[in-house]
Amino acid sequence: MKNQISRTILDTIGNTPLVRLNKVVAGSKHQFFAKMEYFNPAGSIKDRIALSIIEAAEKRGELRPGGYLVEATAGNTGMGLALVAAVKGYKCIFVLPEKMSEEKRAMLRAYGARVVITPMGVEPEDPMSHYSVAKRIATRLKEKTGNCFYTNQYHNPDNFDVHYNVTGPEIWEQCNGEIDVFAAGVGTGGTLSGVAKYLKEKNPQVKILCADPVGSILADLFHHGKIVDPPGAWKVEGVGEDMLPDNCHLNRYDAFVKVNDEEAFAMTRRLVLEEGLCVGPSSALILIGAMKYAETLEKPSKIIVIMPDSGKAYLSKVFNDKWMVENGLLNPKQIEQAFNIEVKASEEMKNYV
Ligand SMILES: Cc1ncc(COP(=O)(O)O)c(C=O)c1O
């Protein structure tokens, strides 16, 4: 019998399921498959890069036992790094912009990390942006302790490498090479760029699609080589950018589709209700982008959509009616209807108790 015991939790990173979507894409001539990254042990696709970045830094001698890890993160990278740090014995400091959910902050603290929050609406170069604050903390800690590594997911090539060496081959094997379109969002660009390079080497006909939130500058850079519309604010976490990370290789992508918050948040709710997939809003945003792109394709196609994380990290947002109404993402009438159904159901229950 094969030994199936993992040496540590880190052995369980990757090999996530690929699941066919049914009801939310009913009527489409295309097939859509979701790569379910919340199956990773700290709950997102970022566990993959956390392990790769830390092990590469260890190999280069830039990080030694007991050292500090510092990162500017939307939360998920922090969770992945904190998981690896717990097993390997590092200390973590994470810098998050204010909009990141309370669940993510609480989880990071639970893993023993120090969490620093920075204000929203500041330019990336501003000394108070989460990038600048993280860099400053890392530089000072390195001077002080001599053992601090700035993981730098936006520009560190070990992020790209793990998606090229591991995520790409995993997807190719899971679908037996039958893939026409690969869709993801760009936070750092590591996922889309790394997987794109691998898939294009296997089959140059595979189309690489970026789903980009309205307000992000990336689609403008792709189409016009410069920013045309000034950057805006959007509520979906983890995707879209106000700067161009080194890991975002625009030359490897074939198309961009813009998606707004309303579309993404509504689809997040449908995915759990109709498919049983409790994923975060960025997963829904990527799916909407893929569905819009699919409408432009004549040939029935197989489309793989990355679903980066779990809806559990957003219970206080997308699954909270009050937050959704306050943020203009849900019509109060829809809650009234839902509430009435709940009341009727519980009144009916009285007959059975
Ligand atoms: C929820 C979520 N979706 C998507 C992404 C984008 O992945 P990448 O950084 O590889 O572009 C991230 C990354 O921050 C994320 O946290």
- Going from the Cα of 187 to the center of ligand 1, the distance in angstroms, rounded, reads 5
Q: Is 238 in the pocket of ligand 1 (CB under 6 A)?
A: yes
- Going from the Cα of 266 to the center of ligand 1, the distance in angstroms, rounded, reads 20
Residue length, the chain? 353
Q: Is 216 in the pocket of ligand 1 (CB under 6 A)?
A: no
Q: Is 156 in the pocket of ligand 1 (CB under 6 A)?
A: no
Nearest protein Cα to ligand 1, atom 3 = 238
Nearest protein Cα to ligand 1, atom 12 = 238
pLDDT tens figures, 140-174? 999 999 999 999 999 999 999 999 999 999 999 99
Task: Report pLDDT for 101.
Answer: 79
Q: Is 50 in the pocket of ligand 1 (CB under 6 A)?
A: no
Q: Is 43 in the pocket of ligand 1 (CB under 6 A)?
A: no
Return the CA Rg of the chain: 21
The C-alpha atoms of residue 41 and residue 299 are separated, in whole angstroms, by: 37
- Going from the Cα of 208 to the center of ligand 1, the distance in angstroms, rounded, reads 16
Task: Report pLDDT for 296.
Answer: 98
**Annotated active-site positions, please?**
46
Task: Report pLDDT for 102.
Answer: 84
- Going from the Cα of 48 to the center of ligand 1, the distance in angstroms, rounded, reads 11
Q: Tell me what the pLDDT averaged over the chain comes to.
A: 94
Q: Is 282 in the pocket of ligand 1 (CB under 6 A)?
A: yes
Q: Is 97 in the pocket of ligand 1 (CB under 6 A)?
A: no
The C-alpha atoms of residue 165 and residue 143 are separated, in whole angstroms, by: 34
pLDDT tens figures, 280-328? 999 999 999 999 999 999 999 999 999 999 999 899 999 999 999 999 9
Contact 152, 94 (CB under 8 A): no
The partner residues of 158 in beta bridges, in order of sequence, read none
Mutate to test the pocket of ligand 1, among 35, 36, 46 (most ligand atoms within 8 A of CB): 46
Nearest-atom index, ligand 1, CA of 186: 11
Question: Which position has the token pair 């839902």?
Answer: 338
The C-alpha atoms of residue 182 and residue 208 are separated, in whole angstroms, by: 5
Contact 32, 301 (CB under 8 A): no
- Going from the Cα of 144 to the center of ligand 1, the distance in angstroms, rounded, reads 31
* pTM summary value: 0.93
Distances (CA, A) of 162 to 14, 78, 88, 177, 198: 10, 17, 19, 19, 11
Task: Report pLDDT for 353.
Answer: 62
- Going from the Cα of 325 to the center of ligand 1, the distance in angstroms, rounded, reads 26
- What dihedral angle (degrees, nearest 10) is formed by the CA atoms of 269, 271, 275, 280? -110
* Regions of the chain where pLDDT drops below 50: none
Q: What are the two backbone dihedrals, phi and then psi, of residue 68, each rounded to the nearest 5 degrees?
A: -105, 145
Task: Report pLDDT for 340.
Answer: 65
Show the 3-state SS of the chain.
CCCCCCCCHHHHCCCCCEEECCHHHCCCCCEEEEEEHHHCCCCECHHHHHHHHHHHHHHCCCCCCCCEEEEECCCHHHHHHHHHHHHHCCEEEEEEECCCCHHHHHHHHHCCCEEEEECCCCCCCCCCCHHHHHHHHHHHHHHHHCCEEECCCCCCHHHHHHHHHHHHHHHHHHCCCCCCEEEECCCCCHHHHHHHHHHHHHCCCCEEEEEEECCCCHHHHHHHCCCCCCCCCCCCCCCCCCCCCCCCCHHHCCEEEEECHHHHHHHHHHHHHHHCCCECHHHHHHHHHHHHHHCCCCCCCEEEEEECEEHHHHCCCCCCHHHHHHCCCCCHHHHHHHHHHHHHHHHHHHCCC
Q: Is 189 in the pocket of ligand 1 (CB under 6 A)?
A: yes
